[in-house]
């Protein structure tokens, strides 16, 4: 073998050895490279944002748009939200105590007391008997005024006393003699239930003229003394002078007190009315009534209302028991108008709840970051 050929063989051997070394290096480094590419990703540190893969970023759904803001709440109706307006300067306030104007569509109620005095003049008694005297009776009671549109309906209950002193009467159409006279003393009383109805005509501020009528029914109780008499003198204790003849008469204490005290001196007399005789009532077969009507037609009043809760009446009328006048004072049951307060409460009660406060937070919104990026869970 020549020198040149030996040199070529050595070079080829060196290249073969170098190639073998390179192959070994490649195969030794391949597992390490493969291990590095297949190793699982490290967990991101707390608070750190893991990087998203290119394929996940490409396939992830676009971020949904933010929800639209809630629509504005509608304005409450004027009737529900409007507070009662204050009266203009110089205008009367309906809530003032001296505001007495009445709404025709509204009902007003009053409760109070009344007094009536009834006069039976002697000339009225002389339509049925002679002599007699002017009689005065007292009535006290309670009333309830139900008023609307200028009209008052007044139920009432009252007590009336018909007490009198001794009164000398002569029977109508009979001769003026002792056996036709009698002395009457009343201890009667009655309890009445009735109703008045009155219509009003305004005369001035706070003042009305009223006209109407009243009816009722009463239960009579007590005693009526009726005694025969005999002639006496002016010096006789308790003697009463006749206005027609000028003769004095005294009550019969017994049949023997005088000729006119004997039942035989009186036509159709079945009992001796002497010694303070008490007349029997209807239930006992006598003439004293037990039930008695009250009829007052017409009656007139002046109604004065100085305050919202106060009214007074001065009245005058005619009834079957005589001419009467009356006074009454009533307290108003009207309440102060609190409509404004009630409306305010209704407004607060009906106010819709705040939707933003009641709205639940979307868990997905918590995963979205302020910079618009997606959480790592959105890439899966």
The pair of structure tokens assigned to 353 is 């709840």
Give the residue among 379, 315, 321 at the shortest CA–CA distance from 124: 321
User: 164 near 188, Cβ under 8 Å?
Assistant: no
Hey, what's the torsion of the CAs at 318, 319, 322, 325, to 10 degrees?
-50
Question: Each residue of 117-137: pLDDT tens digit?
Answer: 999 999 988 888 999 999 999
Strand partners, 291: 219
Q: Which residues of the chain have pLDDT under 50?
A: 2-3, 21, 23, 26-27, 29-40, 44, 47-48, 50-60, 78-82, 338-347, 349, 353, 355-361, 363-380
Q: How far apart are CA 315 and CA 170, in angstroms?
A: 34
Strands (E), 205-343: 207-221, 224-232, 240-241, 248-251, 291-307, 310-319, 322-332
The pLDDT of residue 58: 44
Q: How far apart are CA 18 and CA 1, in angstroms?
A: 25
Strand partners, 9: none
**What strands lie across the sheet with 224-232, from one edge to the other?**
129-131, 167-171, 181-186, 224-232, 248-251, 240-241
The pLDDT of residue 122: 92
Strand partners, 219: 191, 291
Question: Each residue of 3-42: pLDDT tens digit?
Answer: 455 555 555 565 656 555 454 554 454 444 444 444 445 5
Alpha-helical (H) ranges within the chain are 3-38, 54-59, 78-81, 122-125, 339-350, 355-358, 363-367
Task: Tell me the DSSP string of 90-140.
Answer: TSPPTTSTT-----TTS-EEEEEEEEEEEEE-HHHHTTTEEE---EEEEEE
CATH number of 104-332, picked from 3.20.20.450, 1.50.40.10, 2.40.160.20, 3.90.650.10? 2.40.160.20
Q: How many CB atoms lie within 10 A of CB 160?
A: 21
The pLDDT of residue 89: 60
The pLDDT of residue 30: 47
């Amino acid at each position: 073998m020549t020198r040149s050929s030996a040199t070529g063989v050595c070079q080829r051997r060196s290249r073969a050895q170098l190639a073998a070394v390179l192959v070994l290096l490649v195969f030794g480094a391949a597992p390490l490279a493969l291990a590095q590419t297949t190793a699982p990703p490290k967990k991101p540190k707390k608070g750190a944002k893991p990087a998203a893969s290119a394929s996940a970023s490409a396939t992830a759904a676009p971020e949904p748009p933010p929800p639209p803001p809630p629509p504005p709440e509608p304005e409450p109706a004027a009737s529900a939200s409007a507070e009662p307006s204050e009266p203009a300067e110089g205008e009367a306030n309906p809530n003032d105590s001296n505001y007495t104007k009445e709404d025709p569509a509204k009902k007003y109620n009053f409760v109070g007391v009344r007094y009536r005095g009834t006069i039976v003049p002697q000339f009225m008694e002389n339509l049925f008997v002679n002599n007699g005297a002017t009689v005065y009776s007292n009535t006290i009671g309670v009333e309830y005024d139900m008023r609307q549109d200028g009209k008052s309906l007044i139920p009432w209950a009252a007590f009336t006393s018909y007490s009198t002193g001794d009164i000398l009467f002569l029977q109508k159409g009979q001769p003026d003699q002792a056996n036709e006279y009698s002395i009457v003393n009343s201890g009667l009383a009655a309890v009445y239930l009735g109703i008045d109805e009155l219509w009003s005509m305004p005369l001035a501020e706070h003042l009305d003229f009223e006209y109407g009528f009243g009816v009722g029914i009463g239960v009579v109780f007590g005693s009526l003394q009726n005694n025969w008499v005999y002639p006496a003198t002016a010096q006789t204790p308790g003697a009463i002078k006749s206005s027609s003849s000028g003769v004095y008469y005294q009550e019969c204490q017994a049949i023997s007190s005088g000729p006119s005290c004997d039942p035989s001196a009186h036509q159709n007399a079945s009992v001796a009315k002497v010694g303070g005789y008490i007349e029997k009532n209807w239930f006992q077969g006598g003439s004293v009534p037990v039930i008695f009507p009250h009829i007052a037609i017409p009656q007139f009043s002046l109604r004065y209302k100085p305050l919202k809760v106060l009214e007074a009446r001065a009245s005058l009328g005619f009834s079957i028991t005589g001419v009467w006048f009356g006074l009454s004072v009533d307290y108003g049951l009207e309440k102060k108008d609190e409509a404004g307060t009630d409306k305010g409460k209704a407004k607060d009660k009906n106010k819709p709840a705040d939707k933003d406060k009641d709205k639940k937070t979307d868990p997905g919104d918590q995963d979205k970051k302020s910079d618009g990026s997606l959480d790592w869970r959105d890439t899966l």
